[in-house]
Amino acid sequence: MKIIDSVAAVFCINKRIFVVRRQSHLKDFPGYDSFPGGKIDSNDSETQHTAEFLCHGDGQKMHALVREIKEELDYDLTAGIASGQVSSVKLLATTLAPVSAPVRFRLHLYRIDCKTGPQFTPDPGEFEDAFWTTPEELLASYHKGDSLMVPALRCALEKLIRDPRGCDFGDLSPQFDEENFIPRIELLSELQILPVPSNTLPPATRTNAFLLGDDGSKKILVDPSPLSHSVLEKLLRTLKQDTIDALLLTHHHPDHHEQAPQLARQLNLPIWMSEETRFRIIDKYGSDYFAGVSLDIKREGEKLTTWKGEGVRVYEVPGHDAGQLGLAPESLRWLIVGDLIQNSGTVVIAEPEGDMAAYFKTLERIIDLDPAVIIPSHGIPMRGTYRIRATLQHRREREKAIYELSLNGKTETEILNTIYPGIDRESRALALQNIKSHLSKLKQEEKTTSTACP
């Protein structure tokens, strides 16, 4: 996977730091608390920068830092240095995202100390919010469950708390032995993500397993689905020190339950799921699939565990799969939505378990619920319902085009070739399934309308 180098500015004054919250519509880290900065561009000059404090650093990184600060905050760093407002620019730390990350960023953090507060004009297209705070306050917000934050940022905050004037903290990259263990990533406090390699549809290669539950409450592992016996063994090693009370399967697709029965048998755990999921898995794999495993059916509204003292309850979220379940705390500070959306690519609504009408209604319901964070099974948590709303709008536009083409007598294949020109062979069958589901929805709505007419 390609590594993308980027830079970020940590402005510091009187033990306070300047923090931004990224817009929820951004592709990378939507709604995350972060520092201003961005990717190093190939057009950023590699020549040594001439400004004081910048002339000793890597030329391309320094030019990128100046450019990004100007673009995102409308602040001229070189002018700030020349005026004496900026008293130093030093490398604070570096970090590299793990192999399991959807995009591997190598971030170079620079500490910029100021004598007086700079006047920033944050780019509203990039940032939902921007504010001065202390490392202690920002970390407390994360631990309360109110912030999305990458592990390296939390590590940097912890080091700044211990050493407020510190710099050159070295490499803060999360250390994972991915040869022997599944990474454990926490982007939302006390909700661990284990990106397990699975037999899923491209471009995804992993399915998120979620580990949650307060101390003293039931600890639940959601959707363990190792693609092979060796990955199962790796997952078992990863979970060796955990006390787990149950496995929960969100729905019946294999990339959400493959080898879960073996895991349950080895750990002597029950498996929880919806009645529809139980029926479909047994219908597909036979009654022996869950041999020796206790099964427990879960339904809408049932409390499964707690998170930060709140009850975590079941939500029935059909559409992608008839029996799919979601999970959310009572405050709706997050909602695990399974395969309703994903960070990249289009969700497939494949009949018979997929139902486009039910899918639309479920997306509309989640928009009305308005959870603070959406957590998909493929990709990273995202603040707000932007991606849900964008997905619904996209499907409505697709359906309108399909409807108009069908009225003109186009076949399913002709509709496919018109709407998805140049689509690759691997994706054609998946796109055709979505077209079929849209057509089924349209036919059912037409039938209902004609029946209702006097």
The residue behind tokens 């140049």 is: 422
Question: How far apart are alpha carbons 274 and 297 in whole angstroms?
Answer: 5
Q: Does the pLDDT value for residue 149 go beyond 80? A: yes
The dihedrals phi and psi of 273, each to the nearest 5 degrees, come to: -170, 175
Quote the tokens at residue 341.
């959306």
Give me the pLDDT at residue 447, please. Answer: 85
Q: How many residues does the chain have?
A: 454
Structural contact between residues 226 and 205, judged by C-beta atoms closer than 8 angstroms: no
Give me the pLDDT at residue 178, please. Answer: 85
Question: How far apart are alpha carbons 119 and 132 in whole angstroms?
Answer: 12
The residue behind tokens 């349209």 is: 442
Structural contact between residues 287 and 301, judged by C-beta atoms closer than 8 angstroms: no
pLDDT, average across residues 323-343: 96
Give me the pLDDT at residue 453, please. Answer: 54
Dihedral of alpha carbons 234, 237, 238, 239, sign: positive
Q: How many Cβ atoms from other residues are within 10 Å of residue 40's Cβ?
A: 21
Q: Does the pLDDT value for residue 19 go beyond 80? A: yes
Quote the tokens at residue 80.
């700030």
Quote the tokens at residue 39.
């990717």
Residue 33: closest CA among 124, 103, 144, 128: 128
Structural contact between residues 320 and 354, judged by C-beta atoms closer than 8 angstroms: yes
Give me the pLDDT at residue 231, please. Answer: 97
Q: Does the pLDDT value for residue 367 go beyond 60? A: yes
The dihedrals phi and psi of 139, each to the nearest 5 degrees, come to: -65, -35
Beta strands 271-273 and 295-297, pairing class: parallel
pLDDT, average across residues 110-123: 96
Question: How far apart are alpha carbons 317 and 366 in whole angstroms?
Answer: 9
90 CB burial (10 A radius; 0-12, 13-18, 19+):
middle
Question: How far apart are alpha carbons 186 and 147 in whole angstroms?
Answer: 11
| 432 band by pLDDT with thresholds 50, 70 and 90 | very high
**Mean pLDDT, rounded, of the chain:** 95
Q: How far is CA 195 from the centre of its chain?
A: 11
Structural contact between residues 416 and 432, judged by C-beta atoms closer than 8 angstroms: yes
pLDDT one-digit tens code per residue, 382-392: 999 999 999 99
Question: How far apart are alpha carbons 70 and 77 in whole angstroms?
Answer: 7
> Which domains, from first to last, does the chain contain?
3-162 (3.90.79.10), 185-385 (3.60.15.10)
pLDDT, average across residues 7-17: 97
pLDDT one-digit tens code per residue, 408-425: 999 999 999 999 998 888
pLDDT one-digit tens code per residue, 157-169: 999 999 999 999 9
Give me the pLDDT at residue 372, please. Answer: 98
Give me the pLDDT at residue 452, please. Answer: 58
Q: Does the pLDDT value for residue 184 go beyond 90? A: yes
